[in-house]
Chains A and B, each alone.
Chain A
Amino acid sequence: MRLFWVLLGPGILVMLGENDGPSMISYATTGASYGIGFFLPFILLTFAMAYVVQEMTVRLGAVTKKGHAELINERFGKFWGWFAMGDLVFGNLLTLVTEFIAIRAGLGFFHVPAAVSVLGAFLLIVAAVATQRYWTWERIVLSFAIFNLIFIPVAVMAHPVASDVVKAFFTWGPLPGGVNAAFMLLIMSNIGATVTPWMLFFQQSAVVDKGLTPKDITHGRVDTALGALLAAVAASATLLATVPLFTHHVDASNFQGADFAKALIPHVGNIGASLFALGLFEAGIVAALTISLSSAYAFGEVSGRSASINSPMKENIPFYAFLFAAAGIAALLVLIPNAPLVFITLIVNVIAVLAMPPAIVFLLLLVNDKEIMGQHANRILGNVFGIGVTIFLILAGLAYGILTIFPHLLTTS
């Protein structure tokens, strides 16, 4: 048990870290738009997919002792290494912006000025990294991440009908409105809320930074499964918390974070709404901490520098500078007056899903490479699941694309 406590970390961090600002807003929008039905079991399916993908990164990190970007760089050449890092850094920058939006929205509910909340969050990122110890950084983030479960009491306060919940898991329904462009946007958004490229890069690098070895793979799997379970519970709770808005026909299509909390006051009370707003802040800060480090890991690995927060700041200035620059630019973008923040929030999860298939192909190539993985290479079942997830993501992306251009083509309502 003590050993498990020591090994606990990257899996839980990555899963709860991905329950970030745009993800929670996405689950909240889903609950308010569709109520209890199709999306409740669908969320569990997306976390099962996340486990399949993330488990491979645990093995890769523990066996090769190299981060994801470093391994792509070394095995497939600098061209693909920089391409992978470019995708990641671009996606991460957009995602970081949305994390600061969530932080601003969450604290905005308590009338904290935008500049104060954004600057405070940035300073927290700097302070956590300034410890220059992975272990200390991880414990700081874990202590924030556990508050992701704050959405559970809000869901209880919303009094969901138990029989509807059970029925949803057995029937995958109802699905009011049928299949249309709005439905596909939420499908993509919910997938993007659980399966994204930064998770691959972060968990593999964190496994290396933590020093896990092949003997620790089982513990790494338990850590990842536990993280997926906790994150799935928090995600489902967020959906259930906003179901009263669906029941009372409140139009939440243009809601931002703080609007959800305000709209929930009549249904869950001031305490429930405050918890919801605090949850948004937590989701944003945990993801901002992990995603900024994920960008720096990839930069350090591809540029051939040390990619570790165990390295002294004085000796590894580019690594730390990149981390602070990524977080700083995102924080500044959020403070630009009249910036199209709502649009950025909407598209971030979708972009994450679209960037995922190329990332999984690299992951599958690496994890099937017997020369580097030896006995820990993927077996048939792992490949069936891995390829299945990739095909599913590509088809979902194509369906989204088709419905964007031809909104009435696949409508079945």
Chain B
Amino acid sequence: MKNTDSTSMTSSHANYAWIHEVLEPDQLASTKPLFGRRKLGATTLALLWILRLYVLLMIFLIGYQVWSAFHAKF
């Protein structure tokens, strides 16, 4: 039993080694770069909030259209 486990472990390691050989260095998950936080400027923040309000307003309008369509139908 022990031998079987040891064989499968070795085979598993061998598989990993093969994969490491085939992959290019920049394809390994361990090479995933870490990017720092970027501070958003006042203009960008304002734009993001305006667009957020735009989406909320438009969703309200869609709700109104659905409500109108529903009442027109029934």
Q: Which residues of A contact B (CB under 8 A)?
A: 64-66, 71, 74-77, 80, 83, 87, 211, 213-214, 340, 343, 346-347, 350-351, 354-355, 357-358, 361, 365, 369, 371-372, 394, 397, 400-401, 404-405
Contacts and interface: CB of A to CB of B under 8 A. Distances in A.
Contacts of A83: 52
Interface in B43-74: 44, 47-48, 51-52, 54-55, 57-59, 61-62, 64-66, 69-70
A74 B37 contact: yes
A178 B37 CA distance: 49
Interface core residue of B47, B52, B65 (most chain A CB under 10 Å)? B65
Contact of B38 (A64, A75, A211, A400): A75
B33 A64 contact: yes
Interface residues of B, number: 29
A75 B51 contact: no
A285 B15 CA distance: 35
B37 A211 contact: no
Contacts of A394: 54
A80 B48 contact: yes
B40 interface: yes
A369 B59 contact: no
B32 A358 contact: no
A369 B52 CA distance: 22
Interface of B: 23-24, 26-27, 31-35, 37-38, 40, 44, 47-48, 51-52, 54-55, 57-59, 61-62, 64-66, 69-70
Given A347-B66, A351-B62, A372 B35 contact: yes
A357 B51 contact: yes
Contact of A211 (B27, B33, B44, B48): B27
A394 B45 CA distance: 18
Contacts of B64: 404-405
Nearest to B57: A401
B51 A361 contact: yes
A81 to B, nearest CB: 11
B35 A74 contact: yes
22 contacts: A65-B33, A74-B35, A75-B37, A76-B40, A80-B48, A83-B52, A213-B27, A214-B26, A346-B69, A347-B65, A347-B66, A354-B54, A355-B55, A358-B48, A361-B44, A361-B47, A372-B35, A400-B61, A401-B58, A404-B62, A404-B64, A404-B65
Given A64-B35, A354-B55, 7 more contacts: A71-B35, A213-B26, A213-B27, A214-B26, A343-B66, A347-B62, A401-B58
Contact of A404 (B24, B33, B51, B61): B61
Contacts of A80: 48
Contacts of A365: 44
A343 B62 CA distance: 10
Contacts of B34: 74
B18 to A, nearest CB: 16
A237 B38 CA distance: 45
A76 B44 CA distance: 11
Contacts of A64: 33, 35
A241 B40 CA distance: 48
Nearest to B66: A343
Given A361-B47, A404-B64, A77 B37 contact: yes
A357 to B, nearest CB: 5
Contacts of A76: 37-38, 40
